[in-house]
Structure 1
Amino acid sequence: MTDLAPARISVGAYLATRLTQLGAPHLFGLPGDFNLSLLDEMLTVDGIEWVGTSNELNAAYAADGYARIRRGIGAVVTTFGVGELSAINGVAGSFAEDVPVVQITGMPSTSAQAAGALLHHTLADGSFDHFVRAYEQVTAASVVLKPATAPAEIDRILLTALNESKPVYIGVPADVAVASVPAANLREPLERFGSAARQLDRFAEAFREAVYSAASVGVLVGPRVHRRHLEPIIRSLADAPGVYIASQSGSKAVLDESHPASVGTYLGAHTQSDAARRAIDEAPLLVLAGTIMSDLLTGFFTHGFDPDRAVELALTWARVGETTFFGVQLEDSLRIVDEVLQDARLDALEPISLPAAASAMPGDRAMTRPADALDPPLSHAAFWRHLQGFLAPHTTVIAEAGTSFFGAIDLRLPDDCDLLGQPVWSSIGFTLPATLGVCIAAPEKRAVLLIGDGSAQLTVQELATILHRGHTPVIVLLNNSGYTIERAIQSPDAVYQDVTPWNWTALPAAFGAADRAVTVTARTEEEIEAALALAAATTDKLVLIEAVLPKLDSPRLLRLLGEGLSEANAPLTTVPAAG
């Protein structure tokens, strides 16, 4: 704010101003009669941009993808009841995956709520708090605004999202949206809380003592490091002598995989390289930085280390041995680890030999074949080899839960690439709307979306928004005639594993944007090679590649994890005794 800025401002404009200050000027969502006044006020703020989506679930997914890439938060705006309930699955995924999304709901007026009016979009019972209470289960904080306290409550809620890297909920009654409130707080931007100084000093002392007797250090980096955008500290840490860096699948390529200290992606017993697995499982001192020890991130709990014996750096606390230091932010604890290890000067380590790329996977055929050989049907082994050769530096790869994500994990990503997925929540359909958010958040990087036919059918409407906004990602649709990950778990031939066949390459034309896309179907190795070459050469249009694959074929990791899920879901062989 400047000296010429107004002394008072509407609640809607105050909220929008805070979002722009936090680096989130894009609002994803849909209009509805209860949020129209709110939207009118928010859109008066310079820099705010409306991104209308096809439905509220897609808006929540798009805001999630946006927040992961942007150095700020994401915002989704819905109407009361029907709109916010449509979005709640996406917000729950943001909670599970530590993504700071702000769910903003336009509500009926305070007088209508006080009178218990039987309005549309309600349960016709006179109660207006059902959905607020539902959101309390999937957000770190929630509030329904009142004019007298709106600025302070908005600031409190947004700070919670920043500090906890979790979604929050803001309900704005229609009359409150236009109410005038003091603008004084806007003179200072919101900033994430710092660490408690005494606790940070104690952690630093304890960590120095732990490092004193260590010959080397293994660092397992989890997705929460990515959420706090702490990649520069990881790069610095990787340059310290005696340090190996591995990532969980949710933070793959948090360090360039070409770096000598990188040992790739760690998935317990399913880790692609035995040497990389030993670097973590047998580390003299192991640091868990922003990790999540869930099933799909640990290879179904096949990790070979004891987390209780590791140094653990969480979002808001750190632990060394049996001592936990509360009030220590991840950015500060990770900085201390870097400083200590730079000073420790541990012995330099020999580089670990890793598979150079997916083309080096055991059992895969060579890329070249005799000139007179027949062009074989496309398989997963061939597809991932060709995709490995296609990927370029400075790419954002978005991989859908299931076949796409577990295939992408075994790739060796070029430098300055990101892999965005949802391995904790694993809600199919997430990635296509998330690609919209990614394209808006990082237009300087080309996005490559990998998604299956079953997943795409859930949220494909947002392809229209991507096309009409002029974004040019490469979308590779893996058409394997149904839910391959479910087939890998159980009952592969069951009727519920099938999906209705679509004419995928006709979609851009159906969405009124045939001139903004290039589409191609690949059924053989030669055809996928040609299709990817076309995608590399076509940067001014969206490229949609339909890759037709056998329905029972799958990548290495999907087969292994399918077996793990099958075992986890198996019925008990004995009935526990009562009592």
Structure 2
Amino acid sequence: MSDQTPVTTVTVGQYLATRLVQQGADHVFGLPGDFNLSLLDQMTTVEGFTWVGSTNELNAAYAADGYARLRRGLGALVTTFGVGELSAINGVAGSFSEDVPVVQITGMPSTTAKAAGLHLHHTLIDGDYEHFYRAYREVTASATIVRAATATRDIDAALMTALRESKPVYLGIPADVAIAPVHAANLRTPLVAARSDSGELERFEAALAEVVAAQPQVTLLVGPQVHRRSLEPLVREIADHDGVYVASQNMSKAVLDESHPASLGTYMGAFTRVDEARAAVDDAPLLVLAGTVMSDFLTGFFTQRFDEDAAIELGLTSARIADTTFYGVRLEDSLRVLHTVLGRTADAGPDGAGRAPVVPVGHPDPVSAAAPTPGAVLSQEYFWAAVQDWLEPGTTVIADAGTSFYGALDLVLPDDSALLGQPVWSSIGYTVPATLGACVAEPSHRAVLFVGDGAAQLTVQELSTVLHRGYTPVVFLLNNDGYTVERKIQSPKAVYQDIAPWDWTLIPAAFGAGDRVLTTKAATEEELVAALALARSATDKAVLVEVVLPPMDSPRLLTVLTDAIAAAAAAAAGTPGS
């Protein structure tokens, strides 16, 4: 090519869309607004790009989050300036809290309008166009207002930051910048995630080999960051080594099939269901923390007995053994090194006898429901036992914060299944739009959603998008007449615990779903058994089951958690606890 050959150009909007498609984020969620129309017109011309319109911007953020979790890569949404991006900021903050790489793209007023300080709609009428950009700086790993002169660099840097740190990023794109031409040469090479520092990785491997060789047993506690790096297959390979146990935190439940002999199930400190499984973590001769998050709900309110400082810690971008931190060692590489070292030292051990095969000590056998008692009112205990019998392999279980999530945690998930929830940020209503993201990201797995009535009232309108796009989830709407979690903690009869009663089985009809969805109601054990049979047989349709439960009833794990919260609150207030 001679110097006279013209360089192919694309618009900024096309460049951004192409980069997203290259990273597997080929479905982008959001809503149009006058400040992002030019941007969307450019993005939708890119081959492989699919627009998924949402019912509001908060739901778009939740959907992008769910999509990113299931794709194990980037998710993206597009909003308009001010009113749209502020609606989405709660969802993006949740992505930051839970290490989900979502790209929040805002269509902004033109650079000329900004320079003139025009008092436009969607602004605060003070001439300052950066209020909301500054807000996003608090809940993203990077926030950038893209300039035409540096647009390709701005976009690539933001996407690389999201990939490297597994955190959301913000891109504000003025309307005139969206259509500006830029060089397309960079698009010949897709972005590649950062690599580990080779010298630090070698030092880490040598130190790890020395520690592992001295131990007959290794316990791996796997956290949600392993999901973010798509490392589940590597965890399975590690679990096949002799002398290795694998437990998961609740945000990474079933990272290893729970039927695997090395599986310890879900670890939550004092709330771990099986004492032997808890001991295998807390008393492990060598504990490896892989991508863990040590927050209250993930540790059983900090009741873990193991010494975090004494454990080997494998983080997203560094690793630590005792007092030595190996910077620039990425989680995918530190886990591969662990796999290699375990294989190399299989015949080692303090006495040269090697590591013995594990003895299964994990979760209890799945609890089966008894035959239904005629006329018996449905309870949480019976409901979750019946669901346990009903679940099939290849299911994406999605459970909203509260009753739904902590009921689902006690399930023993069938093989090739996953649990999607939001226990750290715990924003109720997250899961209905996250179900949309999950269905788009992984359509081969049937989505099964558990959501409470209070949570659903926040975001249920996104169910219309799910249904109109032809997805066939099973939705269990747990109607316990208000905010059961809050009732269990304090003031159960307070007026603020109540919600307006809805006729949930009519919702799909109001959304125009027609015969694409079946609805039924289960208030007794017999009705639940019939509803589950319907949901199993109707694989070509979505199914909504309104599950009527007593207001103060809760699953086992939520009961012990809310009792602990209530006792702590009472102690702090100086009043007798429950």
Distance 2:533 2:216 in 1: 47
Q: Deviations along 1:364-396, whole A, 9 cap, x unmatched?
A: xx6136xxx533110011000100011000000
Contact 2:277/2:363 (CA < 8 Å) preserved in 1? Answer: yes
Per-residue deviation at 1:353?
5.5
**Contact 1:240/1:342 (8 A) holds in 2:** yes
State the alpha-carbon separation in 2 of the partners of residues 498 and 216 from structure 1.
51
The separation in 2 between residues aligned to 1:460 and 1:235, in whole angstroms, is 36
Counterpart of 2:371? 368
Q: Quick one: which amino acid aligns to residue 140 of structure 2?
A: T
336-345 vs 564-573, greater mean Cα deviation? 564-573
SS of equivalent to 1:218: strand
Distance in 2, Cα, partners of 1:50 & 1:137: 28
In structure 2, the residue corresponding to 1:340 is in which secondary structure? helix
Within 2, Cα distance between the matches of 1:572 and 1:547?
36
Partner in structure 1 of residue 262 of structure 2: 261
Secondary structure class of the residue paired with 1:126: coil
- 1:363 is aligned to none
* 1:438 aligned residue: 438
Letter in 2 for 1:350: V
Q: CA separation in 1, counterparts of 2:225 and 2:110?
A: 38
**SS of residue in 2 equivalent to 1:492:** coil
- Give the superposition deviation at 1:349: 2.2
Structure 1 segment 55-94 matched on structure 2, within 5 A: 55-94=56-95
Residue in structure 1 matched with residue 360 of structure 2 by the alignment: 351
Aligned residues: 563
8 Å CA contact 1:241, 1:342 repeated in 2 = no
- CA drift at 1:418: 0.6
TM-score, normalised via structure 2 length: 0.96
Q: For the Cα contact (< 8 Å) 2:474–2:543, is it kept in 1?
A: yes
**In structure 2, what is the equivalent of residue 305 of structure 1?**
306
CA contact (8 A) 2:73 2:228 kept: no
* Structure 2 residue aligned with 1:577: none
3-state SS of 1:233 partner = helix
After the TM superposition, which residues 361-440 of structure 1 pair with which residues of structure 2 at under 5 Å, given as runs? Answer: 367-368=370-371, 374-440=374-440
Whole-Å Cα distance in 2 between the matches of residues 6 and 470 of structure 1?
42
Superposed CA offset, 1:549-578 (max 9, x none) = 00000001101110222234346367xxxx
Residue 537 in 1 paired to residue 537 in 2? Answer: yes
Tell me the distance in 1 between the aligned counterparts of 2:47 and 2:538.
34
For 1:445 and 1:349, the matched residues in 2 are separated by: 31
- The aligned runs of 1:144-159 (5 Å cut-off) are 144-159=145-160
Please state whether the residue corresponding to 1:401 is helix, strand or coil: coil
Equivalent AA in structure 1 for residue 34 of structure 2:
D
SS at match of 2:546: strand
Q: How does 1:196-345 map to 2 (within 5 A)?
A: 196-345=197-346
Asked if the contact 2:521–2:546 (Cα under 8 Å) also holds between the matched residues in 1, the reply is yes
TM-superposition CA deviations, 1:62-104 (whole Å, max 9, x none): 0000000114211100000000000000000000011000000
* Cα distance in 2, alignment partners of residues 563 and 528 from structure 1: 28
More displaced 10-residue stretch of structure 1: 5-14 or 320-329: 5-14
SS in 2 for 1:546: strand
**Equivalents in 2 of 1:6, 1:494: separation in Å?**
68
CA distance in 2 between counterparts of 1:399 and 1:318 reads 32
Q: In the aligned structure 2, how far is the partner of 1:350 from the partner of 1:559? A: 30
Tell me if structure 1 keeps the 8 A contact 2:201–2:334. yes
Distance 2:54 2:139 in 1: 22
Q: Which moved more, 1:435-444 or 1:65-74?
A: 65-74
**1:556 aligned residue:** 556
**Residue in 1 aligned with 2:482?**
482
Q: 1:284-325 CA distances to partner (integer Å, 9 max, x unpaired)?
A: 000000000000000001111111110001100000001111
Contact 1:358 1:410 in 2 (8 A): no
Q: Conserved in 1, the CA contact under 8 Å of 2:221 and 2:246? A: yes
1:234 is paired with a residue whose SS is helix
Partner of 2:351: none
1:147·1:179 contact (CA, 8 Å) conserved in 2? yes
Letter in 2 for 1:194: R
Q: Counterpart of 1:51 in 2: which secondary structure?
A: strand
Q: Give 2:370's aligned amino acid.
A: M
Which residue of structure 2 aligns with residue 115 of structure 1? 116
Cα deviation, residue 358, structure 1: 3.3
Structure-2 residue corresponding to 1:521? 521
Q: 1:131 — aligned with what? A: 132
Superposed CA deviations along residues 464-507 of structure 1, whole A, max 9, x for unmatched, are 11111111000001100011111111111111111111000000
- SS of the residue 1:295 aligns to: coil
Q: Letter of the 1:357 partner, please give it.
A: P
Q: Which amino acid in structure 1 is aligned with residue 460 of structure 2?
A: V
Structure 1 pair 330–106 and aligned structure 2 pair: CA distance change class (3 A): same
RMSD across aligned positions (CA) = 1.4
The one-letter code sitting in structure 2 at the alignment partner of 1:565 is I
Structure 1 equivalent of residue 350 of structure 2:
none
The secondary structure found in structure 2 opposite 1:9 is: strand
**Structure 2 vs 1, CA of residues 310 and 72 (structure 1 numbering), >3 Å: closer, same or farther?**
same
Query: 1:143 is paired with a residue of what secondary structure?
Result: strand
Question: Secondary structure in 2 aligned to 1:447?
Answer: strand
User: The residue matched to 2:297 in structure 1 has which SS?
Assistant: helix
Aligned-partner Cα distance in 1 for 2:246–2:270: 17
Q: In the aligned structure 1, how far is the partner of 2:6 from the partner of 2:419?
A: 42
Counterparts of 2:269 and 2:179, CA distance in 1: 54
Q: Paired residue for 2:460?
A: 460
What TM-score, normalized to structure 1?
0.96
> Aligned partner of 1:514: which letter?
G
- 1:382 partner amino acid: Y
**Cα 1:50/1:354, change in 2 over 3 Å:** closer
Separation in structure 2 between the aligned mates of residue 537 and residue 467 of structure 1, nearest angstrom: 18
The question of whether the paired residues in 2 share the 8 Å contact of 1:487 and 1:497 is answered with yes
Name 2:510's counterpart in structure 1: 510
C-alpha distance in 2 between matches for 1:351 and 1:335: 24
Unaligned runs of 5+ in 2: 347-354
Correspondence for 2:40:
39
